Amino acid sequence: MQPALECLPCLVRQAAEAVALSEKRTERRPAILKRILRALAETDWDRSSPAMAQMIHQIVREETGNGDPYRSIKKRMNRAALEGMPVWRELMLKSENARETVIRLAAAGNLLDSAAKTSMQPEDIPRLASLWTRPLVGDPHDLFRLADRATQILYLADNAGEIVFDRLLIETLPTEKVTMAVRGGPILNDALMEDAAMAGVLKIASVVSNGSDAPGTILDDCSEEFRTLFATADLIVAKGQGNYETLAEVRAPVVFLFTVKCEIIADRIGKPVGSLIATRGSNWTTRGSTCRSPKNL
C-alpha cells in the first residue's frame, strides 16, 4: 500500500520519539533527525509506510547504538495487559457471545501501538475494558468457521501488550494448527519472541520469527522459513495496521484484525477512525479447505 503525503508527519513523529528514547545526549538529536529527514526526502515513495519506518529505525540504531529503545515500554505493556487478564476473561465468560467478545478484545488491543499518534500507554490498558464495545466491521464468527476448516493457521502478531489479547484469541482457536509469527528484530513496540514468551503464547502454540525488522509484513524482507509458512497456510490472521498496509494487495487467505487509528486507513477502507476491523481482505484467495466470503475489505 503506497503511503499518502499525510503519512509523513506521523513518520517524523515516530522518528523524533525513537531518537529521544535512544539518544540521551540532547545536543546529538538534531543531527540524527536531519539525517532521517534527508533520507525521507530522497526515498522512493512507492515504498509502504512500514518500509519507510524500517529505514528510519535502522538510521536511529546506526546513530545511537541502541538496538531496542522500546524494550522497557514493551515489558510494561506486557505486564499491564497480563495483570488485566482476569478482567478480560471475565468479560468473555459473562458475555452472551464469547467468540465475538474475544475478537473485539483482540482488535481493541491493537490500540497498544507506539506507531500511532493516538497510541495508548501501559497505564491506559484498563480502558480497553470499555473500548472493546466500539463498532465492529465484519462477521466475527467467520474467523472461527475458517479456523475449523483450516489445516494450518498463521497468526501474524503486531505489538507487545496486544500480544496478550492475541493469546486469548488463540486459546479459542484449534491451537494445534496455529503458528504465531513475531518480528525478527526490534522495531517500535512490535512484539518479539521474548514478548511472546512473556505473554504465555509459547505455552499454547508454535511461535517463529518472520526474519524482518519492518513494522509490517514485507514478504521480500522476511526469512525463507516464514515465506514458506505464509505460502502454505490456508488461513492467515494479520494483526494491526502495519500488516494491513503491507498485505492488503497480496493475494492470500488473510483475515485482517485491527483498530482503525488514522484517517488514511479510514479513507482506504471506508470506515471511521476507531472502528474495530475483523474481515477478510479484498484479495482473499482460497487455499486448501477454507472458503470464500462476499464481505471483504
Query: What pLDDT does residue 116 have?
Result: 63
Other CB atoms within 10 A of residue 228 CB: 11
Q: Are residues 85 and 171 in the same domain?
A: yes
Pick from 122-131, 225-234, 254-263: least confident:
122-131
- Separation between Cα atoms, residue 269 and residue 195, nearest integer Å: 30
Q: Is 8 exposed, middle or buried (0-12, 13-18, 19+ CB in 10 A)?
A: middle
Domain at 91, CATH number: 3.40.50.10880
Q: What is the DSSP code (8-state) at residue 161?
A: T
Enclosing domain of residue 44: 7-64
Q: Are residues 11 and 147 in the same domain?
A: no
Instruction: List, in sequence order, every residue forming a beta bridge with 236; answer none if it has no partner.
Output: 154, 254
Residue 76 has pLDDT above 70, yes or no: yes
Q: Are residues 225 and 150 in the same domain?
A: yes
Q: Are residues 85 and 125 in the same domain?
A: yes
Q: Is residue 239 part of a domain?
A: yes
Q: Is residue 293 part of a domain?
A: no
Across 113-124, average pLDDT: 65
Q: Are residues 21 and 108 in the same domain?
A: no
How many domains, in total, are found in the chain? Answer: 2
Tell me the whole-structure pTM to 2 decimals: 0.94
Q: Are residues 131 and 270 in the same domain?
A: yes
SS (H, E, C) 37-61: HHHHHHCCCCCCHHHHHHHHHHHHH
Q: Is residue 140 part of a domain?
A: yes
What's the whole-number average pLDDT of the chain? 92
